[in-house]
């Protein structure tokens, strides 16, 4: 198995800076929590990442000292909030290497971003047109397309995967035909950890003039997403998967496509003028940002991006690669445990099943040991069906986790086995 990007000690020096897990853990006060009378071991990062103090401070500062609506006010507080809000948009633009800020749309989350594309870009499609997704998609990248297909008579095609959890590219290529109008695929599987060959997917789709939407919810905290280098058309991700506040998402879209697409929601701030006869819509990005936005969340996301850039995605990837390699080795030592998802290229997700023990029981018992994991279908029920399991237990790692915490996980799983023996 090849882990994402590189494998390196957590104390390795990069560009004159030393990464220290002990140091970064100090940035996350919640890691000092006692859970069920034991030190918290947080291994549920694929569900949501923890928030560094700098992000909480940025949100608190805005709410306490700068709370005001943005864009429409002419007073000091509104101008200050607007400047901070738009500075965060610029931070997202730079983070994704988009050409311009107008290509960055703030939404309520990855799900909202995908629904925006489904309802806006999708409204321009015709009966018989096809959309291609993969068998490892999250429900948020399945259900909106199913709803669109039912509403407009479209056809949804699903690219299969192999037993390791890897996309079968030959089969994927066969699905892209003359009626394909969009490819929507996950960059990193939230249940398997599989890192898809997104550049190959995009190049293949573009060779047939098909745009691509990338669900990057699980990717942005672990690997760089350069939209210009990839040539991708749409990218969706959530703030809370990137150490930022919940209830906030981002949609990147190429201007050429966004300009053609009609607004998804109507209301305040997305208009140039309104009469009872006709409404003229605002320019990008306001056209897709109706109503008062999640201002504190946007400011918090800007702080989260600054934090990630300070630590460094290279350092983060290296630390997580080492943890994934160690965790994979330790879990494979447990007799009766089966990993679900062993792609050659994957990131820090360890999904597994245990002989004769339901994942919900595993999660409940681990919780009594102070260990937080996720148990269930992870909003990927078709994927669970593919592997013929009702659910998995999932330990998902971040750069602030440690090998000691993985050892604690292994010890707790062995305790589960003993209880059910």
- Classify residue 108 by its DSSP letter: S
d(CA 116, CA 264): 6
Integer Cα distance of 311 and 394 in angstroms: 26
Cis, peptide link before residue 388, omega less than 30° from 0: no
Distance CA 280, CA 394 (A): 48
- The pLDDT tens digits of the residues spanning 86-116 come to 999 999 999 999 999 999 999 999 999 999 9
Model pLDDT, residue 269: 87
Provide the pLDDT for residue 72. 79
- Domains, the chain, ranges and CATH? 14-43+312-420 (3.90.1150.10), 55-310 (3.40.640.10)
pTM of the model: 0.94
Helix, strand, coil % in the chain, rounded to nearest 5? 40, 20, 40
- Cβ 109 vs Cβ 248: under 8 Å: yes
**How large is the average pLDDT for residues 23-31?**
97
The conformation of residue 283, written as its DSSP 8-state character, comes to: P
Locate tokens 């007799």: which residue?
335
Among left, alpha and beta (phi > 0; psi -120 to 50; other), residue 376 is left
The residues assigned a catalytic role are 379
Terminal-to-terminal C-alpha distance of the chain? 31
Q: Which residue has the higher pLDDT, 363 or 269?
A: 363
Over range 224-247, report the average pLDDT: 98
pLDDT at 401 over 60: yes
- From CA 109, how far away is CA 254, in angstroms rounded? 19
Beta strands 38-39; 34-35: pairing state:
antiparallel
Contacts (Cβ under 8 Å, ≥6 apart) of 291? 265, 267, 268, 269
pLDDT at 17: 52
| Residue tagged 């009594």 (tokens) | 368
Gap between the Cα atoms of 392 and 389, Å rounded:
7
Q: Give the pLDDT confidence of 249-261 residue by residue, as tens digits.
A: 999 999 999 999 9
Confidence check: pLDDT of 3 > 60: no
CA 412/CA 416 separation, integer angstroms: 6
């Amino acid at each position: 198995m090849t882990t994402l990007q590189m494998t390196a000690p957590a104390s390795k020096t990069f560009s004159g800076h030393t990464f220290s897990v002990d140091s970064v853990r100090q940035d996350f006060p919640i890691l000092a929590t006692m859970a069920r009378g034991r030190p918290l071991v947080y291994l549920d990062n694929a569900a949501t990442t923890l928030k560094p103090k700098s992000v909480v401070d940025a949100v608190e500062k805005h709410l306490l000292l700068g709370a005001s609506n943005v864009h429409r006010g002419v007073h000091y507080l509104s101008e200050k909030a607007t400047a901070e809000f738009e500075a965060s948009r610029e931070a997202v633009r730079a983070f994704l290497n988009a050409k311009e800020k107008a290509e960055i749309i703030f939404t309520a989350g990855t799900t909202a971003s995908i629904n925006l594309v489904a309802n806006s870009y999708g409204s321009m499609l015709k009966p018989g047109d096809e959309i291609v997704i993969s068998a490892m998609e999250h429900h948020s990248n399945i259900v909106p397309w199913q709803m669109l297909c039912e509403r407009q008579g479209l056809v949804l095609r699903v690219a299969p995967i192999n037993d390791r959890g890897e996309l079968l590219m030959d089969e994927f290529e066969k699905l892209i035909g003359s009626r394909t109008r969009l490819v929507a695929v996950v960059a990193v599987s939230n249940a398997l950890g599989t890192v898809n060959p997104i550049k190959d997917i995009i190049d293949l789709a573009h060779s047939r003039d098909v745009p691509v939407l990338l669900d990057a919810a699980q990717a942005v905290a672990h690997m760089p997403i350069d939209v210009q280098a990839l040539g991708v058309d749409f990218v969706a991700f959530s703030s809370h998967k990137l150490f930022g506040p919940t209830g906030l998402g981002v949609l990147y879209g190429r201007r050429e496509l966004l300009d053609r697409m009609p607004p998804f929601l109507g209301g305040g701030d997305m208009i140039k003028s309104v009469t009872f006869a006709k409404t003229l819509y605002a320019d990008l990005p306001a056209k897709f940002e109706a109503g008062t936005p999640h201002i504190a969340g946007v400011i918090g996301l800007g702080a989260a991006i600054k934090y990630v850039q300070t630590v460094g995605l290279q350092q983060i990837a290296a630390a997580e690669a080492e943890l994934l390699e160690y965790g994979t080795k330790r879990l494979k030592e447990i007799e009766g445990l089966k990993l679900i998802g062993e792609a050659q290229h994957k990131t820090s997700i360890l999904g597994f099943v245990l002989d004769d023990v339901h994942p919900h029981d595993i999660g409940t018992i681990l919780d009594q040991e102070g260990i937080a994991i996720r148990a269930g279908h992870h909003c990927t029920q078709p994927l669970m069906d593919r592997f013929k399991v009702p659910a998995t237990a999932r330990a998902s790692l971040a750069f602030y986790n440690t090998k000691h915490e993985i050892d604690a996980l292994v010890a707790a799983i062995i305790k589960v086995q003993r209880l059910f023996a």
